[in-house]
Structure 1
Amino acid sequence: MQKKLGIIGATVAALFALAACSSSTSSSEEAAPAPAKTIAIISPDYSAQPAAKTAIDEFVKAAEAAGFKTSLVDTMSDNAKVNGEITTAVSQKVDAIVLAFGTPKEFGEGLAAAKAANVPVFGLDTGGTEDPILVNVTTDNGFLGSASAQAMMDAIGKPGNIAMIVFDAFQPVQIRGAEAKKLFEAAGYKIVEYVQGDPADSTGFAKKTVNDFLTKYPAGKIDGVWAGWDASALGAYQATQEAGRTEVKITGVDGQDFARAEVAKGGNWVATMAQDWPTIAATEVKIIQDFFAGTVPADKVVYVPGTVINKDNAK
C-alpha cells in the first residue's frame, strides 16, 4: 500500500511539475514582446540637401526611440528611382513607408504598389499628398516665403529690384516663392529675375547664376537675391562676397547652421527661416503611432510653425 501511495505521489508531483512548466512556458510566450514595426524611409534628397538630412536624421532618432525599426534609402536626387525603392519596400513587407522630401506626383508606380499591398505611406516635408499618402507633416511654407520676403524688404528699406531663385517642381519651395513674390510685388518691388534652381547642385548653381546677375546688373540695379532654401542662398552669398557686392541683400530658408553663422555676422545675408525639424519629426512619429493604434490622420497636411532668424537671434 505504501509503495502504491508512493507511486501515486510521484505521479501527482510529476503532473504538478509538468503543469508548472507548461504554465511557465505559456506565461513566457504571452510576455514576449511583439516584433518592432518597420518603417522604410525613402528620399531623393538625403545627401543632396542639408535640410533633408537634418529632417530625416531627426525622424530616425525619434522613430527608433519610440520602438520602431527603420531603414533609409537615398536615391541621390533621382525622383524616378523612388518608384523602384517603394516597390522594393513593399516586397520586403515593411509596416509603413515614409517619403521624405521629393515630388510624389513622380512616384505614381510605387505609390500604386503600396496602395495595392495596403502599406500605409506618410510624407515628411514631401512635395504633395498624392494618393495613398495619408498625411504630410511640414512647415507652413507660405509663412516661410512671406516672412523671408519681409525680412529682405526691411533690410533694403525701399522698393527695389529683386532676383529670385526658386524650384517650382517641389511644392514646399513653390509655395514659398509664390508667397514671397506676391508680397514683393504688392510692396512695389520689381522681380528682375525668376530662376529655377538646381537641387542637385544648389550652391554651385546659385553662385554661378548670381555671378551672372552681378555682371548684368551693376550697383544700384539689383538690391536683393531671395533664395528658396539655404543651400542656394549660400551660393548667392558667396557670389556677392567674392564680387565685393555686399550691397545686395540675401535671404534663405531652412535655418541651417551655416546660414545662421553668416546671418549672425550682421552682413548682407540678412535672414534665414528656421524649420523646427525635431517637432516635425516627433509629430510624424506620433501620427504613425496613432495610426497603428487605429486612428487615421484627420488632416492631409499638418503644419509646424517656422521662425525668422536674423542677426539678433542667429547665434
Structure 2
Amino acid sequence: MALMGNQTLISHFILLGLFTHSPLHLLLFSIIMVMFLVALSGNGLMILLINIDSRLHIPMYFFLSWLSLMDLMLISTIVPRMAIDFLLGHGSISFTGCGFQILFFLTLLGDECFLLAFMAYDRYVAISNPLRYSVVMSCRVCWLMVVGSWLFGLVDGLIQAIYTLSFPYCGSQEIDHFFCDIPAVLKLACADTSLYETMIYVCCVLMLLLPFSVISVSYLLILVTVLHMRSAEGRKKAFSTCSSHMAVVSLFYGAAMITYMRPQAYHSSKQDKVVSAFYTMITPMLNPLIYSLRNKEVAGALRKLLARCPCGAG
C-alpha cells in the first residue's frame, strides 16, 4: 500500500464473487463449471472442424472460427479465476491483475462486436451479390476485417483499462462482482469519476451501435433481396444461412446493451452480475451449439471427423 496525503492507497482488490457457499450456490457453481467445459469443448471443436475440413474453408466459416476463438478466450478470462476464488473462499486480485483482466475482457468484447458486424456484411454480399462474392470477400479482405476487429477492441480495452486504474483507490477493497468490471471498480475510487463514467457510457454506446447499425442494414438489405427471390427453395436457403448468425447477434447484443447502454444510475450490482454471467459464460457456450445444430456443413464435417476416429470406425 502507498500513502496519499492522510489516505492509504490500496494495492489489491477483493472480488466478492457471484456465489456464497450455500448448498444452492454450490449447485449453481457446478452448473457453471459444466457450462465452462461445454464452451471449451464446443468452441475448440468448431475451430478444429473448420481448419481440417476443406469444405469449410470459405469466409463465413473463417469468421466463425475467429468467433469461436474469441468466445473461448473470453470465458477463459473470467471463469477459471472465479472458480479458484470460490474454491479458496476469497478473491484477492492485485492492482495489475485487475488491469489485465479489464484489458482482456474489453478487448475481446470489442472484438466480438465488430466481428459480428463483418459476419453480417459477409452474409449480405453472399446473398445479394453472389457472382462477385469471391472478389469482394477475398482472403485479403477477410484478414483485414479480422485484424481490424482485434485493433478496435485492443485500443478500446487499453484506453479504458489505463484510465480506470489511473484513479486513486483508497477506500474499500471489495469489488461487488466476480471479475474486475469497470463500473464496479470505479465505485471504490477516491476521486470524482462522473465525467469518466459519462465518457465510458458514450464510448460503449458507440462501440455497440456502430457495429449493430452495420448488422441491421445488412439484414435489412438481405430481407429485401430474399423477398424478391422467385424460388421458394432459394428463400428458405437464404433464411437458413442467416438464422444462426441472427440468433448469436440477438444473444450477444441483447445482454451487452442491457449492461452498457443503461445510465449508471440504473445499475445494481446484482443485476450487473447476472447479465455479465450471461454474456461471459452462457453466450460462449451457446454459440457453437447454435451454429452446429443449425448448419448442415458443420454437422457433416463432424460426422466425417467421427468416422475417421477409431471409436467411430468401430
TM-score normalized by structure 2?
Answer: 0.26
> Which structure dedicates a bigger proportion of its chain to helix?
2
Q: Which has the larger radius of gyration?
A: 1
TM-score normalized by structure 1?
Answer: 0.26
Q: Which has the higher contact order (CA 8 A, sep 6+)?
A: 2
> Which structure dedicates a bigger proportion of its chain to strand?
1
